[in-house]
Structure 1
Amino acid sequence: MKKMIISVAIATSVAIGSLVGLSTFASGESADPFRESVLRDPDVPSMGNPQGDITIVEYFDYQCPYCKKVAPELARIAKEDGKLRIVMKDWPIFGAASQYAAKMVLAAKYQNKYHEAYAALIGATTKLSEQIVQDLLSKAGVDIDQAVKDMTTYQPAIEALLARNNEQAEAFGFQGTPAFIVGTFRVPGVLDAAGFKQAIADARAAARKKK
C-alpha cells in the first residue's frame, strides 16, 4: 500500500427520515470506469444477493475493532433484507499483519474459501500475526500450504487489487476503517443497525428519483 492511514472511526449521525452527513458518489452513468471499479471489480469478493437492488461496498481491515463489531450486524441486515449485494474491499491499513491477513484471505479465494477465511479473521478476538492468521484459517478449512503457494503465484493480481482498493478509499477521502458506499452515498465511519437501515432506505429513495 502506498500510504498507511491511521484508523479513525467517524460516527455518522442519523436523523428521522434521512441520513445526515452523507455525500453522493458517482451519480453519473454506469459506464464510468471508476464507478465500475468500485462496484463491479470482478476480482473483489462479494456476498448477499448478486442481483440486489442496492450495493454496499465496505472497506475494512481484519484488525479494526469497529469492523469486527459491524460485520455481524451488516450480515444480519443483508440476510433480513434479501436485496443487498455486499462488496468486500480489503483495505489493510493496520500494518504488516493486516497486509498478510488480507493477502492470505484473498489467496484462499483460489480454493473457494474466501468467505470462510473472511469469517475466521473478522471474528478473531486476538491480535493477528502470520502464525495466528495461518492457525485461524486452517481451523476454517483453508489449505494453508496451497494458500501460501497461491499468494505467491497470484501475487501480482492480489497486490494490484489491494492497490485499487487503497486508491479508491483515498479518492473518497476515507480516513480509516470501516468505510462504506451505500448505493450512491459515501458513509465514512461506523453505522449501527438503525443507521444501516436508514442509509439503505435513502439509497433506494435516491434510486427511485433517478428512474
Structure 2
Amino acid sequence: MILRHAAPALLGFSMAATSAQALDLKAMSDAEKVEFGAQVREYLLENPEVIIEAIDILEQRNAAAEALADKELIAANEDELFNDGYSWVGGNPDGDITLVEFMDYRCGYCRRAVPEVASLLAEDGNIRLVIKELPILGDASVLSSRFAVATKQVAGDDAYKQVHDALLEFTGEPNEISLRRISDGLGLDSDAIIAAMDSDSVTDEITRTRALAQRMQISGTPSFVLGTEMLRGFLPADQMKQIADGVRAERG
C-alpha cells in the first residue's frame, strides 16, 4: 500500500537510473525486479518524507473527488433541498445563500450546533436557513420529529420554531405526557397536535426527508448543505462563514 502511494514520487528517481521499458514490471526479468525493488527500498529509506508527501497528495485528490461528487449530489437534488415546500425556513428568507440542516432532536452534536448556527445567521445576515427533520437515533427521535412536524402542520411556522427550540433543550423522555406539557406551556392546541402526529401527511414529510438524505449519502446528524458545499458534521460558526464566503466567491 505504501509503495503504491509513493509510486508517483519514485518515478522521477527511477527514470534517471532505469529505462522506460524496464519500469514496466511485466517486461522485467526476475533479476531486474529484484534490482528495482532494492533501488526503491534504498530511496525510501534515504528519503522517508517522500511517503508522507505522496500520501498527502493522495488525500488531497480524494478530498477533491469527494467534494466534486457532493456538488453533483447537491445539483441533482437542488429543488428538494432548497425548495421542498414543507420544510421550515428561517434566517433571512431572501438570503443569497441557503444553509440546509439535517438534524435529530436526540443528537448531542445537533444541540451543540444550535448556538453556532445562530451566531452564523446573526453575523452574516444574508443566509436562508432550512431545517430538515431526520430522526435516525431511535423511537424517541421519531416521536420528537412527529411532534414537531405535526405542530408545523397544525399551528404554523412560528409554533414549529418554538417547539423545535424546546425539543432541542428537552432532556427528558419524549412521550405523550411530556410533549403535551411542552405544547401546553407554549399555549398551543395539544389535542390537535397529538392527534396529527400519526397522520399520513406527517409520515410523508419524514419519509421524503429520509429518502433525500439517502440520496445525499447522509448517514449522521447534523449534516449541512451550505450553498454548493456539503458539510458532513458539526462545524463552528467561523468555519461555516468561511465556507459561505467561498461559495459566494465562486459565483463571482
TM-score band, normalised by shorter chain: 0.7 to 0.9
Is the CA contact (8 Å cut-off) linking 1:121 and 1:137 kept in structure 2?
Answer: no
Within 5 Å, give how 1:145-156 maps onto structure 2: 145-152=191-198, 155-156=199-200
Sequence identity (%): 30
Which residue number in structure 2 is paired with residue 118 of structure 1?
164
Equivalent residue in structure 2 for 1:179, among 197, 219, 223: 223
In 1, Cα distance between equivalents of 2:184 and 2:111: 20
Distance 2:74 2:123 in 1: 30
TM-score by length of 2: 0.67
Q: 2:145 aligned with 1:96, yes or no? A: no
Match 1:141 to one of 183, 187, 199: 187
| 2:123 is the counterpart of 1:77 | no
Structure 2 equivalent of residue 197 of structure 1: 241
**What is the alpha-carbon distance in structure 1 between the residues aligned to residue 221 and residue 251 of structure 2?**
26
Answer yes or no: is the 8 Å Cα contact 1:26–1:35 preserved in 2.
Answer: no
**Residue 162 (structure 1) aligned with residue 162 (structure 2):** no
Q: Is contact 1:63–1:128 with CA below 8 Å preserved after alignment?
A: no
Q: Which amino acid aligns with 1:141?
A: G
- Bigger Rg over Cα: 2
Q: CA RMSD, aligned part only? A: 2.2
Bigger Cα displacement from structure 2, 170-179 vs 199-208: 199-208
- Identify the structure with the greater strand proportion: 1
Write 1 or 2 for the structure with the bigger share of helix.
2
Q: How many residues align?
A: 185
TM-score (norm 1): 0.79
CA distance in 1, matches of 2:142, 2:116: 24
C-alpha deviation, 1:88, in angstroms:
0.4
The answer to whether residue 102 in structure 2 is matched with residue 56 in structure 1 is: no
Equivalent position SS for 1:128: coil
Q: CA deviation at 1:175?
A: 2.0
Runs of 4+ in 1 over 4 A off after TM superposition: 24-30
Evaluate the alpha carbon distance shift between residue 164 and residue 157 of structure 1 in structure 2; reply closer, same or farther with a 3 A threshold. Answer: same
Unaligned runs of 5+ in 2: 1-62
8 Å contact kept, 1:100–1:130? no
